[in-house]
Structure formats: structure tokens, C-alpha cells
Amino acid sequence: MNREPLPSQVDVLIAGAGPAGVPAAIQAARAGVSVLLVEKSAMPGGTATAARIPFPGIFHAWGKQVIAGIGWDLVERCVRECGGTLPDFSQPPARHWQHQVAIQGPIFAALCDEAMQQAGVQVLYHAMPAAVERDGDVWQVTLCTKSGLQTLNARILIDGTGDANLAALAGCKLRVPEHTQPATLGCLSEGYDFAKLDIAAIEEAAVQAIAEGRLQPTDAGWDRNRPRLGGWLSSHGNNANHIHGHQARTSVGKSALEIESRAALLRLFRFLRTQPGLEGLRIQAVAAECGVRETATIVGRVTITAEDYVTGRRWADPVCHAFYPIDLHTSTGSGLDCRQLQPGIVPGVPRGALLPLGVENLLVAGRCLSSDRLANSALRVQATCMGTGQGAGALAALACRLGTSPSAVPHAALRALLEQHGAIVPPVSG
């Protein structure tokens, strides 16, 4: 993709090519600054691609679009390229997930690559930050690559890792919950006709398998009280299990999670193959990595609270809208605490939630922005991550062009740049 050598200095370095990192990189590069995007895996897209959750949303609220811009353009382009159709957004759906947009993950990844190339973003896959130090007016970043450690300087850093990995290396304060939301391993199961399965009988057999220690209740569902294999079988393994008790912010924790997620899939596979109608069950594909909902958030200049979120608080320096119910996955009971927003409420994200407290020239976009746990359970979704990512890219580019810090960029300049590239910026308070 990129044949030029790794530069010794860039204006903006971004870690993480997920829903936040890709729009951040494209926005910054389109605004005329040099950008290096570093990604630990083999492809862009993060949750939509590597974790096999190809339903980025939600971009619309109460019959109108509230999140647009670079991320939405990529999603819409993917639907069009694949011959799909968009939902009817003109009326609020009966259930929020009905306004999710289905995309094909591999094509979405390729479109992200294409858009980044066209914008002039330099991308380095199979690499991650290993150390970060402040050196005068620049950040000195050491990258761990397949050929060894390499060091370069950057004017502005953007953390799009979802885990605040870059922010932690730079000395930012973090909030790390004692217990995190369960993760999910997505897959694609084949070899059976769901309409011909006796789901009640299969779930009764699962109760016995759980009693014997051959299966766990959430190997194919979210409910700790009773196995619900019908959902897993009908969705063919899409977003339909829970893996509990792992802090995936570190390599050690993520490794334990990945091993346990595959152990859960193996237990489920062995059990299901013994059930009538499932003798030919196949696992055709599995996510490249387990989908993680929660690890850490930064302590920012502003912390978005659940009260801010559910009341749709207006901010003096908004970056983007957000729209999703409070959606806290749990390791008890039914496995989900979901609280819908009241009609007409559209939350927003202020600049201060992207700015770590006490650290200049570093922005955090996506899941690890500054928010309390309930607010973050809604803010973590892909569409909002895309909005905050584009906002961070715009702030970084403007800071470089104006010779200032992201915190000092005039809001009018931020709004003008974002709207030039299709984003929707909320009205200011007051």
C-alpha cells in the first residue's frame, strides 16, 4: 500500500485504524497535514471488520440524520458498492437496532484503504506504539514493527485504539473499571436449516450440558440464568455470546480473553453437533479478534455523565452528536441493561471529552473518550466513534496549521472544517 519508507517526522500520528482512527486520518490529511496511521492488525475497520460486527450505527435520530461526514460516506459507499439498500430513516424504528446499516466488512476495509490512499494518509499495519516521550515541542514515538523498533517525531497524537493505549504511554490519567462489560466472539455458522430445528429441545439439552460442566450459559447467549441457543443459531453466531471477566487493555488480558473465547466456541461446537439437525454444523468463519466493549477511558477536561447524555445536554464547544441507548452489557441476569433515550433527545460530545486532563497536543477519539461508565456504554458505538474521530482529525490538523494546541483551536474554525467535509456539528449552548 505504501512503498515510501517510514518518515522521521509527521504532523499527526494516529494509533488505531478502527471507526475513530480512519476518519481522523482522512480528515487530517484532507486538511493538508502529514499523517501516519499505525494499526496493530492487518486491516482497517476495527469492530466492523476484525470483530465481525458489520453494523455501524446509529447515524439517525427521530427521523433525521445526526451523524454524517467521512465515516458515513464510507458506510454509504460500501452499501452502494455491494448493491445493498439503506433502512428507511424517515420514521423512528420500533427498536433502535433496526436503524443499523448492514455492510460487508471485507469491502468496507478495502474502501477505507482506498479513501486513505486518496487522502494521502501513510498507513503502517502490523505495528503499535511501544513508548512515547515529550521532546520539546514534539512527541517522540517509538513504534514496534515487524523489523524492530523505529522512532519518529509527531506534532500531535491521536489515540484511536479503543483502549487508551497511546494515551497511557503518554502519561494520561485513566479510569479503569474493576469489572468490564463482557466481550463477544462473532462467527459464521453453517450446515443446518434453522427452520427445521427444535430449539426448545436443544435448549433443554443445553441445561443438562451446563449441569454436567460441558457448556456455560453464555457460550451462546447473554442470559446467565438460562441458555438461549435460538438467538445464536438464528443469527448464525453473530454478536450472540458473552465472554466474562477479562480486562483486555493489556496484551496479557487480551490473550486470556482470546483463548477463553475460542474455548467457549469449542464447547458450543461440540455440544451442538450432538443435537438433531446440527450434525453437519460448520464454523465457516470466526472474527479475527474478540469484540471488546469496555477497557478504559481517559480522565478528560470534561467528563460526559449519564445525566448529560440522557438529557441531551448542549455544550459550548461540541464536536459531534451521539445517538444510542444506554447499553451496558452485564455478567449477571439477562446480560443487558438497556435504557432508551426519550423522544427528541440527541446527545452531543464536547471537545473537552477528547482532551486528556493535563496533557497537551494529544487527542483521544472513540470508545476511550472521557465519560462515566453508563454514558460510555452508549458513546462506544461505531457511528459516534466515527464522529469523534473526524472531530479529532480536524482539531489536530487545525492545531498544526495555526501553530497552537487542539484546545486553543477556535470553535468557528473547527465547525467550518468539519462541515466542509460533510460532518454535522451540534448547535452550541447558550
Q: How far apart are CA 250 and CA 248, in angstroms?
A: 5
Phi/psi of residue 387, each to 5°? -65, -45
Task: List b or e across 250-286, with b for residues whose CB sees 16 or more CB atoms inside 10 angstroms.
Answer: eeebbebbbebbeebbebbbebbeebebbeebebeeb
pLDDT of the residue at 429: 85
Check residue 3 and give its pLDDT. Answer: 55
Q: What is the pLDDT of residue 4?
A: 63
Read out DSSP for 159-193?
A: E-SSS-HHHHHTT--EE--SSPPPBB--EEEESS-
- Amino acid letter, residue 304: I
pLDDT value of residue 1: 44
Place of cell 479529532: 392
The structural domains of the chain, ordered by start, are 9-177+294-420 (3.50.50.60), 187-286 (no CATH)
State how far the Cα of 205 lies from the Cα of 272, in Å rounded to an integer: 10
**pLDDT attached to residue 118:** 98
Q: How far is CA 334 from the centre of its chain?
A: 23
Query: pLDDT tens-digit profile of 43-65?
Result: 999 999 999 999 998 999 999 99
Enumerate residues 6+ apart whose C-beta is below 8 A from 111: 74, 77, 78, 81
Task: Measure Cα distances from 37 to 130, 198, 304, 351, 366 in Å.
Answer: 15, 49, 27, 22, 15
**Low-confidence stretches of the chain (pLDDT beneath 50):** 1-2
Write out the H or E segment, with its range, that includes residue 353.
none
- The pLDDT, as a whole number, for residue 8 is 93
φ, ψ of residue 318 to 5 degrees: the values are -70, 150
The pLDDT of residue 107 is 98
Dump pLDDT digits (tens) for 215-225.
999 999 999 98
